[in-house]
Amino acid sequence: MRDLFFVKDYVKLYEEIEGGNCEVFEFNHPVGTVYHQFIKREIPVPLEGGPYFDLLTPYGYGGPVVTELKDTTKKDELINLFCQAFQDYCMDHNIVSEFVRFHPLVNNAQDFDSCYNVLFRRHTTGITLKGFEDPIQEEFSSSTRKRIRKALRDGVTYRITENPSNLDEFQDIYLTTMKRVGAEDFYLFDDAYFSKMIENLGEQMVLVEAIYDSQVIGAELHFHTGPYVHTHLSGTIDGDINHLSPVYVMTYAIVLWAQERGVEYIHSGGGVNPGPDDSLYLFKKRFGKNTEFDYYVGNKIWNEEIYEKLNEATNATSESELFPAYRWS
C-alpha cells in the first residue's frame, strides 16, 4: 500500500522549493520490492570529481518502504539487500548523504533502522476512526464537543469540496494565517505550488471550509489516499472569530466525511516544537485524545570520504547535530 507521500507527483511539488529533482530507486528481488523516492540536490561546494549530491525527503513524510514481501520471514534479508544495492547506487551517482523523514503511520523507520541512523523526533497527532462507532465522542475532548455544538447553534456551517478546481480563496486565507503567525518563508507557497497541486493531486484533495454569515472564515486542505486522510494546510481569516471556533467545525466536518468513506485514521501532524508542552500539539490532541504516532527521522552518510572533504571545505564539524553538517556551516 502506498500513501500519498509515496506518490511521485507529491514529491515533484517540492522540486523547485528544495532545489532538486525527484528521483526513484526501486529495488526488486525474488524476496520482495523496496520503493524509495527522494529529492536529489546538487551540493554547491566545488570538489574534484564533482558535482556531488545529497538526498532529502521533502516536506511531509516518506523514506524507503517495502511494497512487496513474498516471504514474511525474510524482511530483514530484503532490507539488507536493499541497503547494499542503494549504497552502490549512491557511490555510482556521486551521492554523499541522505536525510529521511520516515512515515509515522507506515512505521518504515522500524523496518530500516539497520540501514539508517534513526532518531525519534516527536509525537504526532491524529484521530482514529477505525473501531469507533462514534469517533467524535471517543476522540474529541468534552470541551471540544461543547464548542462545536455552540458554533453550529450560532450559525457556523461547513462546506466540503472534493477535487477542488480553484484554491484562490484558500490560498489567501492560508497565506494570511502564515504571515500572522510569523511562519518561515518556506511555508509561503506560491501560485505555481497550488496550481501544480490541483493539476497533479486533485483527485486526492479535499477542501473543507467553515462559513459564517455567508463568509468563509476558515479553510483546510486535506489529502485522502486509501485508509488515511492527512491534514496538509489550514488557515483562518483575520479578525475576532475565535468564538466561532472555525477549526473545531472543520475538524468535525472532515471526521464525518472520512467516516462515511471508510477512512481509518486522520493524521493531523505534530507541534511546532518536539516537546509534550507545545501549544499546537496540545491543541491538536483535543481532537484525538486516544491517538498518537511516533515520528522518526534518519540520516546516512553514503560516502564518508567526500562527506569529510565537504565539511573541511565549509569549515563544518562532523560532530554537528545538524545534518548534513556541510549545509549548516
pLDDT in tens, 41-50: 999 999 999 9
What residues of the chain score a pLDDT lower than 50?
A: none
257 and 315 housed in the same domain: no
Which of 239, 263, 287 corresponds to the end of one domain? 263
Within 199-291, strands assigned E span 205-212, 215-225, 228-236, 265-269
Give domain status of residue 241, yes or no: yes
134 and 117 housed in the same domain: no
pLDDT tens for each residue of 54-65: 999 999 999 999
142 and 234 housed in the same domain: yes
The residue range of the domain holding 240 is 130-263
Phi-psi region of 315 (alpha: psi -120 to 50; beta: other; left: phi over 0): left
pLDDT at residue 1, as a whole number = 52
Single out the residue of 303, 161, 301 nearest to residue 224, CA to CA: 161
138 and 114 housed in the same domain: no
156 and 198 housed in the same domain: yes
pLDDT at residue 276, as a whole number = 81
All residues at 6 or more sequence positions from 267 whose CB lies less than 8 Å from its CB, including other chains: 104, 105, 124, 125, 126, 228, 229, 230, 231, 293
25 and 139 housed in the same domain: no
CA distances from 24 to 4, 62, 245 (A): 15, 12, 42
